[in-house]
Amino acid sequence: MFHNDGFRALDRQECLRLLAKVPVGRVVYTRRALPAVLPVNFSLDTDSSVLLCTSASSDLVRAIDGVVVAFEADDFDAATRSGWSVVVTGRASVVSDPAEHERLSRTGPRSWVVTQDGVYVRIEAEMVTGREIAGLRDTD
């Protein structure tokens, strides 16, 4: 049901289904005590956590390993004025288990940036929320 503000809350399963359809989202974290947002390509793991592949020496890894972050992805159509947004909130951690790293090297996301020291970062899907807006009719 859409509320008076025109948005409909999405349940966890709807959110995860929509996340699986898009290749890019944004990590929201703290850098030098200020909010930071970084677009990244990603995939979902079998346990619904968000997976990133990046350089082990990146500023992102240093900033988010072991801390709670938010991850947001969306898809909108300006012509129909419709779309959705999903936010995953949870602890981020570098995958350190060699067997898990090997599995993710076969099934996980591939970084869009060439890296020599690639690591996988897992964001646990502790809280998953989303909203959808249906097309609004033009009032002009």
Q: What pLDDT is attached to residue 118?
A: 87
Residue 139 is assigned to a structural domain of this protein: no
Residue 1 is assigned to a structural domain of this protein: no
Say how many domains are in the chain.
1
Q: Does the pLDDT at position 10 exceed 80?
A: yes
Q: What's the token pair of residue 79?
A: 């012509």
Q: What is the pLDDT of residues 89-128, one digit of tens each?
A: 999 999 999 999 899 988 888 877 777 788 999 999 999 9
| pTM over 0.85, yes/no | yes
Domain around 121: 7-133
Residue 43 is assigned to a structural domain of this protein: yes
The structure tokens 């993710």 sit at 104
Q: Does the pLDDT at position 64 exceed 70?
A: yes
Q: What's the token pair of residue 105?
A: 């090297």
Dist. CA 18–CA 59, nearest whole Å: 28
